């Protein structure tokens, strides 16, 4: 039997340590929480995506009484980006969450399904997506979704 450690690098920033560009993206994600439709969970998530040409698009979670028919903020934003700016690689993604009248203190991690979709977009554009997970007490930054999804299933997996 062999063991293997899989190590991920996560950078943790105080808000004032972030670049102006990062803060702008986070503010767009925070603002997007207010367009969430979350009458069931009351958990409002916002996502902001920066494309290769600098365009920023946003999304928020949209819920439905048939719960699985809902969609997370990240996929709302990413699918909108791909549908409306199909040639543009996704460079960065910021996520924020708002519940009980405040933004989350801890960084908001994307769900597994969203991680898989981000991975697919990295593969599609052969470009890593830098991800900023906002929390009032610190923002986690990773250089690729691979840091959040260490063993990846991609199209390449099926061709090996």
Active site residues: 74
* Residue 68 or 87 with smaller CB distance to ligand THU: 68
Q: How far from chain centre, in Å, is Cα 41?
A: 19
Pick the binder of ligand THU from 26, 29, 38, 57 (CB under 6 A).
Answer: 38
- Verify binding: residue 116, ligand THU, rule CB under 6 A: no
- Verify binding: residue 45, ligand THU, rule CB under 6 A: yes
* Residues β-bridged to residue 95: 47, 133
Pick the binder of ligand THU from 25, 26, 57, 72 (CB under 6 A).
Answer: 72
Q: Measure the CA angle with vertex 15, ends 10 and 132; round to 5°.
A: 40
Q: Which residue, chain included where needed, has tokens 């690729």?
A: 144
In the bound complex, what is the minimum distance in angstroms from residue 12's beta carbon to ligand THU? 19
Instruction: Tell me the C-alpha distance between 148 and 64, whole Å.
Output: 27
The answer to whether the beta carbons of residues 110 and 95 sit under 8 Å apart is yes
Return the range that interacts with ligand THU (CB under 6 A); candidates 7-15, 27-35, 108-116, 139-147.
Answer: 108-116
Return the range that interacts with ligand THU (CB under 6 A); candidates 20-28, 36-44, 82-90, 142-150.
Answer: 36-44
- If you ran DSSP here, which 8-state letter would residue 11 be given? E
Pick the binder of ligand THU from 22, 63, 92, 122 (CB under 6 A).
Answer: 63
Pick the binder of ligand THU from 32, 49, 73, 117 (CB under 6 A).
Answer: 73
Instruction: Tell me the C-alpha distance between 17 and 73, whole Å.
Output: 25
φ and ψ of 123, to 5 deg: -65, -45
Residue numbers at the binding site for ligand THU (CB under 6 A): 38, 41, 43, 45, 61, 63, 70, 72-74, 110-111, 114
């Amino acid at each position: 039997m062999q063991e293997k450690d899989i190590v991920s690098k996560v950078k943790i920033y105080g808000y004032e340590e972030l670049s102006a560009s990062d803060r702008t993206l986070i503010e767009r994600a925070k603002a997007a929480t207010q367009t969430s439709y979350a009458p069931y969970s009351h958990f409002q998530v916002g996502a902001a995506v920066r494309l290769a040409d600098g365009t920023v698009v946003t999304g928020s979670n949209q819920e439905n009484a048939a719960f699985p028919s809902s969609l997370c903020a990240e996929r709302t934003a990413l699918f909108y980006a791909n549908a409306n700016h199909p040639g543009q690689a996704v460079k960065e993604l910021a996520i924020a969450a708002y519940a009980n009248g405040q933004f989350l203190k801890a960084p908001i991690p994307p769900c597994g399904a969203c991680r898989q979709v981000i991975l697919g977009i990295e593969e599609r554009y052969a470009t890593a997506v830098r991800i900023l997970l906002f929390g009032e007490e610190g923002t986690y930054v990773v250089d690729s979704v691979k840091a959040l999804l260490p063993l990846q299933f991609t199209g390449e997996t099926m061709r090996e």
